[in-house]
Amino acid sequence: MNLHARFCAHLGDFALEVEFQVPARGVTALFGPSGCGKTSLLRAIAGLNRVADGYFAIGGDVWQDAARFRPVHQRPIGYVFQEASLFPHLNVSGNLVYGAPKRFDPNAIRFNEVVDLLGLGKLLDRSPRHLSGGERQRVAIGRALLSQPKLLLMDEPLSGLDKLTKDEILPFLERLHETLSLPVLYVSHDMSEIERLADQLVLMQSGRVLAAGPISQLQSDPELPLVSSPDAAVSLDATVDAHDPSDGMTSLVVPGGRFLVPSAGALAGERRRLRILAGDVSLAREPPNRSTILNILRARIISAQETGDHQMTAVLGLGDDGLGARLLTRVTRRSWNNLGLAPGVTVYAQVKSVALVRRRGAAISERANVPALATRHA
């Protein structure tokens, strides 16, 4: 099932000309600098901005094309705005059920489940006035979920919140992602949020889509600007192989390699997401012996480019053949030349630090398009 969007619109002197197609599952992040048209695109998908020259379809269900335009209230969406925008004349319960269908549906996302998932139990009788910013945003997310959407649209839901509140909400979003098989379009200009949440990425710049695809693929694409950004990194979805409680190390497998990462515990077969900064990966031509660095992996240089002042950023493919998962590395040009590095050369990538950014990786199974809650809870 795919999600296919194409919109051409001129808003003042800003031109939005986008087209992309991504699988309609998991979290798809719309990422780009402020003012690149992410929000306009999301509003167009919702039908809030009426774009005459537009096409949108999800799994064959066409919401608009040249001849048709389905108004907002007939699109099966949930929309979370940047500001929670709760109805001030209703209490939390009233807000939550405002969009809930009256008819009983056994597959529906249930009220109690949403309340549990988002930790809203103590807030139900309160007025939105007496909620903190983070609580408000959680209620807004719950309200959108209970309208039983087939697509959840989130417009920078965390950007108006301070760091602490963000950290309070992100785990809820992760749980949402783990327990619901609801496709999400998530607008953000904050790469760290996206690295935690997103499976696919739509990369935007001045009203256009530069690329769309799996996040790790776009992060390590030398043609795209992500590679040369100061905090270039890759996100890898890994499978837990084993956990050694004696020293707290978890062994995780990615295509073409294996990582040892300290963690609180994990069961074999579980999915985790790893984040590795380009600056944390150094290169050696020979296998280093007696190093404190735990993660030293065989890899092949796929491509390289000069970034910034006398720096080289290279894309590595793990494994002898370089066909495994991709890493980024950033080294000085002097080291690069001293070691005689070039695309095609086999190297040892020394990974100084690996971050576990998500307790679980992307859901592996796709459960059709029924937005029902899984019974399994974290």
Partner 1 sequence: MLGLTAEIWQPVRLTLQLALLTTVILILMGAPLAFWLARSRWRWKEVVGALVAIPLVLPPTVLGFYLLVALGPHGPGGWLASLWGGRTLAFSFPGLVFGSVLFSMPFVVQPIRNAFEAMGDRPLEVAATLRASPWRAFWTVAVPLARPGFLTGAILGFAHTVGEFGVVLMIGGNIPGETNVLSIAIFDYVETSQWAQANLLAGGMVVFSFCAILAMMLIEKRIGGTAS
- Span interacting with partner 1, options 61-69, 82-90, 186-194, 300-308, rule CB under 8 A: 82-90
Phi-psi label, residue 154: left if phi above 0, alpha if psi -120 to 50, beta otherwise: beta
User: Is the CB of 118 or the CB of 261 nearer to partner 1?
Assistant: 118
Cβ-contact 56, 45 below 8 angstroms: yes
Token pair, residue 224, equals 């795209």
User: Is the CB of 14 or the CB of 87 nearer to partner 1?
Assistant: 87
Contact residue for partner 1 among 8, 48, 57, 108 (CB under 8 A): 48
In the bound complex, what is the minimum distance in angstroms from residue 3's beta carbon to partner 1?
17
In the bound complex, what is the minimum distance in angstroms from residue 216's beta carbon to partner 1?
32
Cβ-contact 219, 328 below 8 angstroms: yes
Is residue 108 involved in binding partner 1 (CB under 8 A)? no
In the bound complex, what is the minimum distance in angstroms from residue 160's beta carbon to partner 1?
13
Is residue 102 involved in binding partner 1 (CB under 8 A)? no
Contact residue for partner 1 among 68, 73, 163, 290 (CB under 8 A): 73
SS3 string, 37-57, reads: CHHHHHHHHHCCCCCCEEEEE
Task: Please give the angle made by the CA atoms of 2, 146 and 78, to the nearest 5 degrees.
Answer: 45
What Å distances lie between residue 126 and 55, 143, 160, 183, CA to CA? 41, 15, 22, 30
User: Is the CB of 84 or the CB of 283 nearer to partner 1?
Assistant: 84
User: Is the CB of 153 or the CB of 176 nearer to partner 1?
Assistant: 153
In the bound complex, what is the minimum distance in angstroms from residue 77's beta carbon to partner 1?
6
Amino acid at 71: P
C-alpha 116/C-alpha 67 separation (Å) is: 42
Contact residue for partner 1 among 89, 103, 163, 290 (CB under 8 A): 89
In the bound complex, what is the minimum distance in angstroms from residue 248's beta carbon to partner 1?
45
Q: Alpha carbon 24 to chain centroid distance?
A: 13
Contact residue for partner 1 among 87, 105, 122, 374 (CB under 8 A): 87
Scored b (16 or more CB within 10 A) or e, 115-146 reads bebbebeebeeeebeebebbbbbbbbbbbbbb
User: Is the CB of 77 or the CB of 266 nearer to partner 1?
Assistant: 77
Contact residue for partner 1 among 39, 147, 181, 250 (CB under 8 A): 147
C-alpha 300/C-alpha 346 separation (Å) is: 4
Is residue 210 involved in binding partner 1 (CB under 8 A)? no
Is residue 78 involved in binding partner 1 (CB under 8 A)? yes
Is residue 154 involved in binding partner 1 (CB under 8 A)? no
In the bound complex, what is the minimum distance in angstroms from residue 229's beta carbon to partner 1?
33
Is residue 170 involved in binding partner 1 (CB under 8 A)? no
Binding footprint of partner 1, residue count (CB under 8 A): 29
Is residue 186 involved in binding partner 1 (CB under 8 A)? no
Is residue 344 involved in binding partner 1 (CB under 8 A)? no
Build a one-symbol-per-residue string for 126-145: x at contacts with partner 1 by CB under 8 A, - elsewhere.
xx---------------xx-
Cβ-contact 132, 97 below 8 angstroms: no
Which residues would be at the binding site for partner 1 (CB under 8 A)? 46, 48, 71-74, 76-79, 81, 83, 85, 87-91, 94, 98-99, 101, 125-127, 143-144, 147, 153
